[in-house]
Amino acid sequence: MKSALIVVDMQKDFCYPDGALYGGDHIRNIFEPLRKVVEEARKKMSVIYTQDWHRKDDVEFKIWPAHCIAGSRGAEIIDELEVREEDYVVRKRRYSAFFGTDLDLTLRELEVKRLYLTGVLTNICVLHTAGDAALRGYEVVVIKDCTAALNDYDYEYALKHMENVFQAKIIDSNEFLKEL
């Protein structure tokens, strides 16, 4: 079964202390396991990065402070992860990487059936992407030590929700590396 690794919104505005919508120091804890996962995944499957990519007047800014403005430094993928030419990048304006993007078309062209989800925030963009993936018939696997939320409650809730409602399999990066 063909798989793809989805790296959700690992962007400077969310992951760096000077970011417009910094998620907290604990987010740095996922940098190293995620770097290893990306590096090893490239040998066996496609790697797809999502980028929050907003217009300056985006309606989402009624909910959240302005962040990840198209073309800004804050919208860039963090320096700790290397986006390569063979990787895919999907720019999105909403929580789900499927909403208003060509992600589903890309995955179908690649004949992908299983998605490994990583990134931030577990309870927002990862959760909504997982839900849309499951409802489109993809097998969803979340690599829990490669995701982070704003707090422990939101993190645990999102993992349970993805597991119980979307039938996502929850694993850690060591299990992922063994599955390769």
DSSP 100: T
Tokens of 92: 């999105």
Rounded (to 5) percent helix, strand, coil in the chain: 40, 25, 35
- Domain assignments of the chain as residue spans, ordered by start: 3-179
pTM: predicted TM-score of the whole model, two decimal places: 0.98
What pLDDT is attached to residue 96? Answer: 98
CA distance 9 to 18: 16
CB 7 within 8 A of CB 81: yes
DSSP 70: T
From first to last of its 180 residues, the chain has per-residue pLDDT tens of 999 999 999 999 999 999 999 999 999 999 999 999 999 999 999 999 999 999 999 999 999 999 999 999 999 999 999 999 999 999 999 999 999 999 999 999 999 999 999 999 999 999 999 999 999 999 999 999 999 999 999 999 999 999 999 999 999 999 999 989
Buried b (16+ CB within 10 A) or exposed e, 23-33: beeebeebbeb
CATH topology of domain 3-179: Rossmann fold (3.40.50)
